[in-house]
Structure 1
């Protein structure tokens, strides 16, 4: 099946989609460092982007998608999230970086059978509720385009009237399902909450729901209290800490949960050599180099080893702010290396990042976990292949 990847970044979403069986016909990204990362991994033949075309480096607003009309099964991407991020200025539709209209245009011009878009959880905040509705209705009716002199609120009203009063031929229409997901609940070793929008073209009549969650905090607590978590990781008794903030929750558990345990930071990076004290061994791993200068202060305390990592971040509230850190059992902190961060985002170990530490951490902080993307894309592909039968999950 064929796809188009918009706002590709370092390739997390697109790689998960490719692993699900989609072949990208076009990959668009404006940032040169991200494009360099994709190019480097295309040429070595080791990563998941070996069959990707040369990325189109530039502004998506200058790309004409009409040549792909009717030839694409899936359009995916993460429109720039700064307008909605907690670390941004919260301007939403007033922000020139809001690329949702371009995502809708790509759908309108290619008419794919389905799409997957993602954004930060901040998009679901009450402040943006009305604009959230505008996004969903634009994706539902991508041919109902705003006029040149029409503000977004007037466009929303027209979309609402069309949605409630449509008669006769519908034109291009999608059935859109948005959901806020915590990546940890799908086996990602990071508490990363994102909003995912999945849409299927209405004429396909596909019945779809998000995949069931497979992992839980309760199962992790059970594994740490009653299972073999500590023995599996060869952790001595003195360092076995479930965490005071979860102690009451753990005490209430009297039956083993049916889900799998949340994956922890230790699960993800425990087999890597310490980059600070084992630098020679660490040098044998791609992008695994110690970065000095980490410090803890209120609001920036790092990620405990035996829980999923906190959300990796990009920008002034991420790397310079000091949140992308490991919190050791003895209370000390250090920055995650690029390789450790890539593990937390479920990038493969043979995937190399281009640029300085701060630049590559920005790429990772903006990425979608590869495995989360793959889980969703596999479900979408299964339904596109077999149709919308109720037996599909």
Structure 2
């Protein structure tokens, strides 16, 4: 049997991953799994996010089963108390002889762009400058949707495969992102320092249903599909719509163009589950709350369509009895998987 797709074994560790939306974490103990590691997250008395290994070193009771006292976490079994760095500061049953090796792993945490990010690798290498930059995030002329979150019962690289595949919209998203030219127009492939871009221009065609009412021009337009993935698992899907005749490859972006960018952050849970976070960012209609809601609802519908397909892919590939094949449209996804595999090997080496 042909081996599994490249990149599927292990995870990149020395990277920032989204644990959740910033507002998802407060003064309560929140347990979650990331990269097959059990983590507990809470906020200290100053509102800073604290992320610790969710296992007391005594008998591995999850610390999330305990309580918060001030800035400390108290285990619910025998009261071992841990500070924000994971060090045991109180052992009630042996106050005069605290266990010397009682400590739990801590994870660097950072609130940025409305999400909470965790560094999953060596804390000494945690560089907050490596969290993705989002241009125009605070620009009042740009509009934003609310932040979305979704669980998917599939490997995280199946999601990045999908987010590097502009062609699937022609069949999976018939009422939203599909449109003329999305099924068979040639694709351009580019490798960047930390990822892959698959893109194409579709010229002088009607826009898809999702975007039709947002555009101040028509009935046809020039459309660019920009599908990008960056290590470890951040996808930037950008749609550029220009008046007919003002778009095209190697042409400066039209000042009349409508640009919508979907920022997608995928976090592996384990080999068969992932968490998917996103928001959309556009250069027009900044104050139109109804449009933001409509775009968010449309994204939920489309991503739910992706979820159904990808969960079947997960099951089908795991239980396959015959070999799978790759198509030409998979070139970007396979290039990204190769980058992931090389980086995992580099970390291990």
- The question of a shared fold, defined as TM-score above 0.5 by the shorter chain, is answered with no
- Structure 2-normalised TM-score? 0.32
TM-score between both structures, scaled by the size of structure 1: 0.30
Structure with the largest fraction of helix? 1
Structure with greater proportional strand content:
2
